[in-house]
Amino acid sequence: MTDTNAADAAEGKKLGPVRRWIKDHPTIWEFILFNVLSNISTISRFVVTWIGTAVFVAGLGLTTPFHFLIFNYPESGNGLGGFLTFLFAEVIAQVVNFFVQMKWVFKSDSSFRDAAWKYAILAVVIVVVNLVLPGYVTALCQGWGMNAGVAGTIASVVNTLLAVVVSYPLLKFWIMPKNK
Mean pLDDT for all residues in the chain: 87
Query: Each residue's pLDDT tens digit in the chain (180 positions)?
Result: 455 555 555 555 688 999 999 999 999 999 999 989 988 988 999 999 999 999 999 999 999 999 988 888 888 889 999 999 989 998 898 899 999 999 899 988 888 899 999 999 998 888 788 778 888 898 899 999 999 889 989 988 888 788 788 889 999 999 998 876
Residue 90 lies in a domain: yes
In this prediction the pTM is: 0.70
**What are the angstrom distances between the C-alpha of 137 and each of 30, 92, 159, 160, 167?**
31, 21, 10, 13, 21
Residue 77 lies in a domain: yes
Contact (Cβ atoms closer than 8 angstroms) between residue 85 and residue 52: yes
Residue 2 lies in a domain: no
**What are the angstrom distances between the C-alpha of 67 and each of 15, 87, 130, 141?**
57, 14, 15, 19
Residue 101 lies in a domain: yes
Q: What would the pLDDT profile of 102-143 be if each residue is shown by its tens digit?
A: 989 998 888 889 999 999 999 888 878 877 888 889 889 999
Residue 30 lies in a domain: yes
**Structure confidence at residue 174 (pLDDT):** 92
Residue 93 lies in a domain: yes
**Structure confidence at residue 148 (pLDDT):** 87
**Structure confidence at residue 24 (pLDDT):** 95
**Structure confidence at residue 105 (pLDDT):** 92
Number of domains in the chain: 1
- Domain containing residue 122: 25-175
